[in-house]
Amino acid sequence: MTAKIEINSFSSSTTSNHRLLGSTRLNIAFLCFFGCAIIYSLRSNLSFAIVCMVKDDGGGENKTKIYGCNNYNNEKEIIAQRQRRELLNNIKINEISESSLNNTNFQEFNNVGAADIIIGEFDWSKQLQGQILGAFFFGYLTSQMLGGILAGRFGAKIVLFVAVLASSLISIISPGMARFNVAIFISIRALLGFTQGVIFPAMHSLLSGWAPPMERGILTGLSYAGAQVGNMLVMPLSGLLCRHGFDGGWPSIFYLFGAIGLFWCLFWFLIGADSPQKHKTIKENEKEYILESLGKNKENNSPIEIKRRPIPLYSILTSKPVWAIFVGHFAGDWGSYTMALGIPSFLNDVLGLQLTSMGIVSALPYLAYFAFINIGGHFADKLQQKGVFSTLNCRRLAMLIAFGGQALMLVAIGYCECHQHNLVILLLILSTGISGFQYAGFVVNYMDICPELSGFVLGIGNTLSCLAGLLSPIIMGWLTPNGSKEEWLLVFYVTAFILVVGALIFSFFASAEVQEWAKEDFNYSSNDA
């Protein structure tokens, strides 16, 4: 209790003397921000590129169905879609020449929207496409805990450098591997998942040594908000490169984002640092401020050495506050994966939006998410600094706003009428955006309860939450066989239930105190040995 008072009094008396704007710790957060943007673009680029890579399959019973709303019956568009597919099947890509551009069939094909269709080069079935897209997560699941361990052994800087470098190189060679052999392509997608699995635990370990307790919300939120920027950039750039890129269009998506990743590695190698003690240009007063706020001193200046002590795995796995975070983490990822995978399908099934406009609309929730992450972090930190709420109550409030708000808006979407397109889109944007408050909740709470072990514990939480990424699309597909409005309402109810339960369990069992097993002088039991 005494330590808590000392930290709070220190923070309140010194924060004003060490402004965040222009500080080295803010520069580190910005580097992490751009790093997150890059790794998410490298992760999600295939989701958009595959549309250009694969040949049109010529239809299927679901492609000509009327959209989910029962009173939506745009027969003209359905007929036009059927004509485009039929004409496309009669035109082989190697037969399109300058002379054929003037023939009757091609003129008719263009009149019904040929400009919106890109002829792919791979004959991949839907099942094979699913295996290719899912390969990332199988690799991602296997390396989460490894990220925290490696960061503790070698430092987060080198782990992040190697992981992003490897991810960038994998992206650059992906087009060649896809053309050479699909099995190899699937393998390198799994390898991409493995390399990226270490990134967030390592980054969490890094931030735990850079972010003072009263600035954790804003610095952590800013760092991870880059992921949403990465998603936003991939959408429009992928569509543009598919049509106008080199080497057939779609390969340039992988080349571009891979090259950007290599540039980030250069900047990170030159500017990044594991801790304030290892940064070459940080001002002495800022270094002292960060270390003292974290309860360290210049003599005890190696967080890596602290992390080399044995990991109390039994104590971690039997800790109620840890499981409160894990449940919140799982619920948050369930909501995120459902929204990320479901928004395009919902807009198509229920609203009947065209693909060209769907990409633009689908990007708006990520913009809102980015904004709310930063607003939530700033809001939570200010409430703490001014003594309005304790750290724990700030975390609880953030989770209740994030998950409760998202759940309410999702259910509201299900009751909107089919003609209320603008209202549905607005609610989708807000429901995704408000969930960004979770970054001031369970995400930062890892650092609250186990600052020195936060990377490792986050790795466990990320591993468990990856199950949401595997299960949510399966459940969503099972609940929406016809894509009707009523079926999507059920999806939203299930998601809302998981979100509310996650927020409540977190609120009841979470803690903001450093746990005994996370302290340097912890007396290990035989179970932890």
Burial 138-160 (b: 16+ CB within 10 A, else e): bbbbebbbbbbbbbbeebbbbbb
- Is 262:150 a contact under the CB 8 Å cutoff? no
H/E stretch holding 312 reads none
- Mean pLDDT of the region 113-134: 70
Mean pLDDT for all residues in the chain: 79
DSSP annotation of 514 = P
Residues facing residue 54 across a β-bridge: 122
**How confident is the model over 502-511, as pLDDT tens digits?**
999 999 999 9
Note the pLDDT of residue 29: 92
Q: Which residues contact 258 (CB under 8 A, 6 or more apart)?
A: 42, 168, 169, 170, 171, 172, 174
- pLDDT > 80? residue 261: yes
- Mean pLDDT of the region 73-101: 43
Rounded CA-CA distance 274/255 in Å is: 29
CATH fold match for the domains 19-55+120-295 and 306-520: yes
- pLDDT > 60? residue 211: yes
Helix axes 320-346, 485-509, angle to 10 degrees: 160
Query: What is the Cα gyration radius of the chain?
Result: 25
Note the pLDDT of residue 119: 66
The segment with the largest mean pLDDT, out of 12-21, 228-237, 321-330, 428-437, is 321-330
Note the pLDDT of residue 45: 86
Q: Quote the tokens at residue 131.
A: 């295996």
Least Cα distance to 441 among 354, 360, 377 occurs for 377
- Mean pLDDT of the region 156-169: 95
**How confident is the model over 371-409, as pLDDT tens digits?**
898 888 888 888 888 888 899 999 999 999 999 999 999
- Mean pLDDT of the region 300-310: 50
SS3 category, 122: strand
Rounded CA-CA distance 491/480 in Å is: 8
Question: Could you tell me which residue, 313 or 7, shows the higher pLDDT?
Answer: 313
Note the pLDDT of residue 259: 96
What residue type is 190 in one-letter code? A
**How confident is the model over 342-374, as pLDDT tens digits?**
766 777 677 776 544 555 666 788 888 888 988
What residue type is 271 in one-letter code? I
Note the pLDDT of residue 96: 35
Rounded CA-CA distance 299/277 in Å is: 10
Question: Could you tell me which residue, 261 or 525, shows the higher pLDDT?
Answer: 261
- CA distances (Å), 290 to each of 16, 284, 359, 402, in order? 13, 10, 42, 29
19-55+120-295: CATH class: mainly alpha
**Any idea where the domains of the chain sit in the sequence?**
19-55+120-295, 306-520
Note the pLDDT of residue 361: 66
CATH architecture of 306-520: Up-down Bundle (1.20)
